[in-house]
Structure formats: structure tokens, C-alpha cells
Amino acid sequence: MAGAKALAAKGIKAAALPADLGDPASVKAMIAKVRAALRPITVVQWNAMGVSIANSAKHELVGLLAEKLKADNVYVGEVVVMGAAKGTAFDNGTATLEAKTIAAKFRVIYTARSETSVNLG
């Protein structure tokens, strides 16, 4: 929520709208709030960290959502970050990835809209 407030302070329309992804009614309500607050959804970005089983489930979900939402012109894609980003809580001094490199990869796949999953790192 702090990120949305920081963007709003810069004049960028943003909102933090959490939902329980295990509850379809919660997800539907969140989507309605997004559309009301920010207009039509054209891209979905989801950050999730976890063990490999959770990441496998997330990867499968990205593929399913990409297929389902493509007809509505909603792009769903993921950048699988294979390591730690410099300056983050996960950087123990050996991180090799720059945050701007990760952000740039998101921009590339969003603009091209041809891949649903790319690995970085």
C-alpha cells in the first residue's frame, strides 16, 4: 500500500487492492474495484515469493490466466527472477541483478506480449 501512496504522491494514479486469491468471490470483488478505480485491466503483475511448489503453482496460474484473459486484451506474463536483486532484503552481498534490469524485462514482455514466462538471472 505504501507503493501506491508513493506513486499517488508523484501524480500517478495507483491503488493497492489486496484479495485472497484462494477465494474466487474475493478475487471478483477486487477486479471490480480495480476497474472502478483504474479503468479496464490491460496487464496483471503479481509478486509472490515462496518455495518451489508455490512457484510451480504460480507459473501454472500465469499460463491459465494468460490464456483465459487474452480474449479480453489483458496481458498476463511473468519474469522468473533466478537470484537476488541488489539492495533488497534478500541480498547477502552476493546479488548480481539490478532492480532496473528486472523492471526493464517486465517492460519488454509487456510491450511485446508474445511470451508469458521468461527467466532472468
Record the cell numbers describing residue 36, joined without a space.
Answer: 472502478
Residue 112: what pLDDT? 93
Return per-residue pLDDT of the chain as tens, 121 residues: 677 788 888 888 888 888 776 777 888 888 888 889 888 877 666 655 555 566 777 888 888 888 988 888 888 898 988 888 898 887 889 999 998 999 999 899 999 999 999 999 8
Look at residues 50, 48, 56 and name the one whose alpha carbon lies nearest to residue 18. 48
Residue 101: what pLDDT? 93
Q: What is the pTM of this model?
A: 0.58
Instruction: Give the chain's end-to-end CA distance (angstroms, integer).
Output: 28
Helix (H, G, I), strand (E, B) or coil at 85: strand
Residue 72: what pLDDT? 85
Residue 84: what pLDDT? 86
Q: Where are the beta strands (DSSP E) in 15-121?
A: 43-44, 75-76, 78-81, 117-120
* C-alpha separations of 106 from 25, 34, 101, 119 in Å: 28, 20, 9, 11
Q: Are 62 and 49 in contact (CB under 8 A)?
A: no
